[in-house]
Structure 1
Amino acid sequence: MRIDLSIISVSILIPVTNMNRIALGFTLALVAASASSAFAADDVYRLTLKDHKFSPEGVTIPAGKKVKFAVKNLDATPAEFESDDFKAEKVIPAGKEVELYVGPLKPGSYEFHDEYHEAQSKTHLTVK
Structure 2
Amino acid sequence: MACLALTPSGLGAADPPGEIALTIENNRFQPEELKVKAGAPWVLVITNKDKGPEEFESHDLRIEKVIPAGKTVRLKMPALKPGSYRFVGEYHEKTAKGRIIAE
TM-score bracket, shorter-length normalisation = 0.7 to 0.9
Q: Deviations over 1:81-124 (max 9, x none)?
A: 11000112211100000000222111011101111111211111
CA distance in 2, matches of 1:73, 1:94: 6
Q: Tell me the TM-score normalised to structure 2 length.
A: 0.86
Could you list the structure 1 runs, at least 4 aligned residues long, displaced by more than 4 angstroms after superposition.
none
Partner of 1:92: 67
Can you give the 5+ residue segments of structure 1 that lack an aligned partner in the other structure?
1-17
Pair 1:37-2:15 in alignment? yes
Query: How many correspondences in the alignment?
Result: 101
Q: Which segments of 5 or more consecutive residues in structure 2 lack a partner in the other structure? A: none
Provide the alpha-carbon RMSD of the alignment: 1.9
Select the structure that is richer in strand.
2
Q: Secondary structure at the match of 1:37?
A: coil
Determine the structure 2 residue equivalent to 1:57. Answer: 32
The percentage of counterpart residues that share the same residue type is: 39
Counterpart CA distance in 1 for 2:88 and 2:24 is 10
* Offset, 1:32: 3.2
Give the residue type in structure 2 aligned to 1:32.
L
Shift of 1:37: 3.4
Amino acid corresponding to residue 63 of structure 1 in structure 2: A
Which structure has the bigger radius of gyration? 1
- 2: distance between equivalents of 1:118 and 1:112? 9
- Give me the whole-angstrom Cα distance separating, in 1, the residues matched to 2:72 and 2:97: 19
Letter in 2 for 1:70: V
What TM-score do the two structures reach when normalised by structure 1? 0.71
